[in-house]
């Protein structure tokens, strides 16, 4: 998992999440469905992956990182 990428995606939607919080759910981090949709859109735009249907209130930043690692190991140029 690339901590920097996850942190950047989270910060882009106003979520100041530290690596120590990566095991908390999006719901517990106050990341709502609109923010999850924005994270998904940014991931698709930047990395070419579609993960919107996999991000739920119970998803964690660590799981987001794993999804990105599975589907987008390198940033698009």
Cα gap 54→8, rounded to integer Å: 19
Query: Which alpha helices (DSSP H) does the chain contain, by range?
Result: 3-12, 33-47, 61-71
Residue 74's pLDDT is 52
Take residue 45 and report the two structure tokens written for it.
Answer: 């735009």
Tell me if the domain spanning 3-71 has CATH number 2.60.120.560: no
pLDDT tens-digit profile of 10-69?
999 999 999 999 999 999 999 999 999 999 999 999 988 899 999 999 999 999 999 998
Take residue 62 and report the two structure tokens written for it.
Answer: 């660590």
- Domains in the chain: boundaries: 3-71
């Amino acid at each position: 998992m690339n901590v920097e990428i996850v942190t950047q995606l989270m910060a882009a939607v106003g979520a100041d999440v530290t690596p120590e919080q990566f095991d908390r759910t999006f719901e517990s981090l106050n990341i709502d469905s609109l923010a999850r949709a924005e994270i998904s859109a940014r991931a698709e735009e930047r990395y070419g992956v579609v993960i919107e249907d996999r991000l739920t209130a119970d998803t964690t930043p660590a799981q987001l990182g794993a999804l990105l690692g599975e589907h987008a190991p390198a940033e698009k140029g």
